[in-house]
Chain A
């Protein structure tokens, strides 16, 4: 079935370090891919998305490229800040109608000053 696998956390980094959170997916067809961020005690916010192969989503210094050949959508940021501490969810949505979204398990990121 359709699924999303992302690296287990927590990930702990120092401020200004480079961040990578790996995400791979399994899906029939050609899904749209998303990264969502959840700050403590809050709901989900869309961070970035990509709707087709080789698209790069970017927002707030975060980037992810839709790699069809490796079925991956890894999240990267060149220099993290303390305010980036949150839980990050990789997700996919099949483009067969509807908006059902399948989420990965989430990766908790801690950034130390």
Chain B
């Protein structure tokens, strides 16, 4: 299957700082990327959907000013957690799909810890 690389895999940051997470499709062009958040022992919650070159569509209850999503190219989407707080600590996972794909492929996930 296609490969989606997410970076970093783990990050620890201080409260009040911003953190950027990258999601790259390595061998295909990702027309659509999704960002999920997973709390401990819970399922994945869709945060937002982004299509290349357009603004992301956020799910209800997700603060768009706090979770900035950029999908400027067909191989890269970024999620920036701004002014992070300890309650933002979570596992963030991206997935990507392209025109020739019949499914979305998932990155390895990023564990964010805000101290």
Look across to chain B and name the residue whose beta carbon is closest to the beta carbon of A90.
Answer: B43
When each residue 10-48 of chain A gets 1 if its CB lies under 8 Å from chain B and 0 otherwise, what string results? 000000000000000000000010101000011111100
Tell me which of B68-76, B78-86, B101-109 binds A: B101-109
Bound-state Cα–Cα, A48 to B102, Å = 13
Bound-state Cα–Cα, A32 to B32, Å = 18
- Which residues in window 30-80 of B have CB below 8 A to A? 32, 34, 41-44, 46, 49
Q: In the complex where A42-B108, A43-B107, A46-B103 touch, is A98 in contact with B44 (Cβ < 8 A)?
A: no
Look across to chain A and name the residue whose beta carbon is closest to the beta carbon of B93.
Answer: A43
Query: Which listed residue, B49, B103, B108, touches A43 by the CB 8 Å rule?
Result: B108
Q: In the complex where A99-B97, A103-B43 touch, is A43 in contact with B102 (Cβ < 8 A)?
A: no
Interface size on B, residues (CB 8 A): 23
Q: How far is the CB of B32 from chain A (nearest CB, A)?
A: 6
Query: Which listed residue, B46, B104, B106, B111, touches A45 by the CB 8 Å rule?
Result: B106
Contacts of A44 on B, CB cut-off 8 Å? 44, 93, 95, 106, 109
A108 touching B109, Cβ below 8 Å: no
- Which residues in window 55-113 of A have CB below 8 A to B? 89, 93, 98-101, 103-106, 108
Q: In the complex where A93-B103, A99-B104, A106-B42 touch, is A42 in contact with B109 (Cβ < 8 A)?
A: yes
Query: Which listed residue, A32, A41, A45, A103, touches B44 by the CB 8 Å rule?
Result: A103
Interface presence of B6 (CB below 8 A) = yes
Contacts of A41 on B, CB cut-off 8 Å? 111
Contacts of A45 on B, CB cut-off 8 Å? 106
Q: In the complex where A34-B103, A99-B101 touch, is A43 in contact with B109 (Cβ < 8 A)?
A: yes
Bound-state Cα–Cα, A99 to B100, Å = 12
19 A-B pairs with C-beta separation under 8 A? A32-B102, A32-B103, A36-B106, A41-B111, A42-B108, A43-B6, A43-B109, A44-B44, A44-B93, A44-B109, A45-B106, A89-B43, A93-B104, A99-B34, A99-B95, A99-B97, A99-B101, A101-B95, A101-B104
